[in-house]
Structure 1
Amino acid sequence: MRIIISPAKKMNMDTDSFPFRNLPQFLPQAEHIYEHLKQMDYGALKALWNCNNSIARLNAERLSTLNLRQNLTPAILAYEGIQYRYMAPHIFTSSELEYIEAHLRILSGLYGLLRPFDGVIPYRLEMQAKLQIGDAKDLYSYWGSLLACRLLEETDCIVNLASKEYSVCISRHLTRNVRLLTCVFGERRNGRIVEKGTLCKMARGEMVRYLAERQSGRPEEIKAFDRLNYRFASEESSRDTYVFIREGEGLEHE
């Protein structure tokens, strides 16, 4: 079983908490993308990143000063988004860290597929960015089936905790004998199940922590997840989609 998650836009450098173990598996491909970005002018980069001037200046400076092989941060500590805050890898036990190193994979526009202890630098590049590199019209074309093929060398059961923007680079290349189990975190609203972005990110982080604490190796164990007021909804779920409904006191109602 492998768990896939999305990266986060906000990143930091942390070379002190614990060291990285490996260079990313697709470092040559990442370096090719990175060199392409370094050749772009500021206006083109700002448009690609779709951000304000402050963020654009920060990331342009990173492009000009950082090296993909030096001053690296373990990937699991480099991302600062909501999902990672709720995962809270800084306080994982040794056994929990070993669990995520074995089971967790982070999808990335720049690096492709990361293990938690792969060394990375701060960057800004979403998978859906309109970046043409050579014959590849975008990053989905650039990575093609490479990421899915590498993941399938490790497992035939993938637990999907990634956003669609990222999970599609795996799902569109899977064979029929591979199980892709997607977790949905929603609320009941007017007879429908509605997902809310921030709550989903929180739940995905909590789910990774939950699985690490229990050292889970079977996808069926996911059904017992009960954090943030979520409960498994068997009537809404199927073999390849586990739906968790958020219920209880303190919820907003329409």
Structure 2
Amino acid sequence: MKILIPNAKELNTNLDSQSFHGLPKASQEVLSVLNQMTVQELANLYKMKLDKAELELDRWQRITQKQARLYPAWLLYDGLMYRYMSRRDLSEAEVDYLKEHVFITTSFYGAISVFESIAPHRLDFQASLKIGSKSLKQYWRSQYDQLVQDDELIISLLSSEFEAVFSPSIQKRMTNITFMEETAGQLKLHSTISKKGRGLLVSEMARNNVQSLEELRILQVDGFYFREELSKEKEMVFVRQVS
């Protein structure tokens, strides 16, 4: 079983770090393309102002010069989903579970363990970056597919942007999780609910050593309960009542 989660734009570098120790070959090729870009080209790529693009250029230069500091990926990423995950004072069993089952999808490092040490950077699959003749999604597809090809159960907590990196045959095998809130009989779905729910779910699955859909169906996640009548074959819906 694999549980797939997205990376995040928000970063927290107020952490213990370690010295740079090189890049995987696949990441080096992405870096080589980025190193050929000017600040203006980076600004266009990111769709941001020049002053912010200069920060990103500095990050890429630090990585190139092997001066970047490294941080555990799931502590460095600090978006809403990550902030709702239990990331401190974990039991040995929880750490083992996360190592075996939970992977972060990125467009610079590929699909990585949550404990992988990475450098601060910004890059997503919406960027129109070509690695040779391939888009970022095409470039990483074989590595993404290989990660899950032997897994009978693939739990996707990804957006469509990240799922599209996988081959269509892999996407069809994914089980998606949807979080909703219900008020006076009205169901509500929005990104904040989803991000909080996903973070909480990962931690509850680790805490309860969930290994199957049957175990997932009976899991209670901060007031969210599985709703059979709202779910589909490849979509599990969890709903929380709000007064």
- Equivalent residue for 1:46? 43
Q: Does structure 2 conserve the Cα–Cα contact (< 8 Å) formed by 1:23 and 1:119?
A: no
Q: CA shift at 1:217, angstroms?
A: 1.3
Paired with 1:68 and 1:215, the residues of 2 have a C-alpha distance of 41
Structure 1 counterpart of 2:77, from 61, 76, 79? 79
Q: CA shift at 1:12, angstroms?
A: 3.5
Paired with 1:93 and 1:183, the residues of 2 have a C-alpha distance of 25
Taking structure 2 as the reference length, what is the TM-score of the superposition? 0.87
Instruction: Please state if 1:164 is matched with 2:143.
Output: no
- Equivalent residue for 1:214? 208
Unpaired runs of at least 5, structure 1: 250-254
- Equivalent residue for 2:55? 58
> Which aligned pairs between 1:172-211 and structure 2 lie closer than 5 A?
172-174=168-170, 179-187=173-181, 194-211=188-205
Q: Does structure 1 conserve the Cα–Cα contact (< 8 Å) formed by 2:40 and 2:50?
A: no
Taking structure 1 as the reference length, what is the TM-score of the superposition? 0.84
Q: Which runs of 4+ in 1 moved over 6 A?
A: 189-192
| Greater Cα shift, 76-85 or 182-191 | 182-191
Q: Does structure 1 conserve the Cα–Cα contact (< 8 Å) formed by 2:157 and 2:198?
A: yes
Q: CA shift at 1:60, angstroms?
A: 1.4
Label 1:115 to 1:68 Cα distance change in 2 as closer, same or farther (>3 A).
farther
Structure 1 counterpart of 2:143, from 146, 153, 164? 146
Paired with 1:96 and 1:23, the residues of 2 have a C-alpha distance of 28
Task: Read off the aligned partner of 2:63 and give its amino acid letter.
Answer: L
- Equivalent residue for 2:235? 241
> Which aligned pairs between 1:15-164 and structure 2 lie closer than 5 A?
16=16, 27-67=24-64, 71-136=69-134, 138-153=135-150, 155-164=151-160
Q: CA shift at 1:180, angstroms?
A: 1.5
Q: Does structure 2 conserve the Cα–Cα contact (< 8 Å) formed by 1:89 and 1:97?
A: no
Label 1:129 to 1:110 Cα distance change in 2 as closer, same or farther (>3 A).
same
Superposed CA deviations along residues 58-83 of structure 1, whole A, max 9, x for unmatched, are 21111111259763222121211111
RMSD of aligned C-alpha atoms?
2.7
Label 1:61 to 1:23 Cα distance change in 2 as closer, same or farther (>3 A).
closer
Q: Does structure 2 conserve the Cα–Cα contact (< 8 Å) formed by 1:2 and 1:157?
A: yes
- Equivalent residue for 1:2? 2
Q: CA shift at 1:104, angstroms?
A: 0.1
Q: CA shift at 1:191, angstroms?
A: 8.4
Unpaired runs of at least 5, structure 2: none
Q: CA shift at 1:228, angstroms?
A: 4.0
Label 1:240 to 1:117 Cα distance change in 2 as closer, same or farther (>3 A).
same
